[in-house]
C-alpha cells in the first residue's frame, strides 16, 4: 500500500496485518475489504487473498482441513473467538499452540495491529498452481 493511500485511512479505522515469516504488512480501512468467499469475511485468509499473500487453504476456507493453521503473535484481543467447528478441526493440527487459529476462521473484529505466523512446516510449496514465495528465516 502506498503512503498516499495509507494517509487517507483514519488511524481509528486502520487495520494492519503482518504475515510472518515473509514480513509482509498490509493495511486497509476496517469494514471496507471486499469479500470473495475465502473463509469467513475479514478472516486472515480473506485478508491474505485480497492482498496476494499466499496462505494455503486446501479446503477453500470451509473449515474442513488445517492447511491455513497459523499462530497469532499479536492482536488476539481483536479477533473473534473460535467456534466449536474450528476448535474440533484445530485438534487435528500439527503443533497446536495456545495461539493457534485457522486462518479461514479467525476473524478480525476491530481496527488494530495484527501479527500472524504461518508455521514453516505448514507452508505448501506448490498449491492451487501458485508457488510459495515465503523466505525462510535463518
> Cis omega (within 30 of 0) on the bond before 21?
yes
Q: Which CATH class is domain 3-122?
A: alpha beta
Alpha-carbon span 4 to 76, nearest angstrom: 29
Task: State mean pLDDT over 96-118.
Answer: 97
The pTM (predicted TM-score) of the whole model is 0.83
* 91: confidence class by pLDDT, cuts 50, 70, 90: very high
pLDDT tens digits along 25-58? 999 999 999 998 889 999 999 999 999 999 999 9
> Domains of the chain: which residue ranges?
3-122
Q: Are strands 112-117 and 14-20 parallel, antiparallel or unpaired?
A: parallel
Amino acid at each position: 500500500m502506498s503512503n498516499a493511500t495509507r494517509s487517507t485511512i483514519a488511524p481509528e479505522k486502520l487495520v494492519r496485518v503482518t504475515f510472518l515469516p515473509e514480513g509482509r504488512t498490509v493495511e486497509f480501512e476496517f469494514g471496507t475489504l471486499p469479500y470473495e468467499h475465502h473463509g469467513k469475511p475479514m478472516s486472515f485468509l480473506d485478508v491474505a487473498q485480497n492482498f496476494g499473500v499466499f496462505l494455503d487453504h486446501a479446503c477453500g476456507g470451509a473449515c474442513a482441513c488445517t492447511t491455513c493453521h497459523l499462530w497469532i503473535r499479536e492482536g488476539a484481543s481483536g479477533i473473534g473467538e473460535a467456534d466449536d467447528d474450528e476448535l474440533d478441526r484445530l485438534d487435528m493440527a500439527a503443533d497446536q499452540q495456545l495461539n493457534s487459529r485457522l486462518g479461514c476462521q479467525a476473524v478480525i473484529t476491530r481496527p488494530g495491529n495484527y501479527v500472524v505466523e504461518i508455521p514453516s512446516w505448514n507452508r505448501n510449496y506448490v498449491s492451487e498452481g501458485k508457488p510459495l514465495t515465503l523466505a525462510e528465516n535463518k
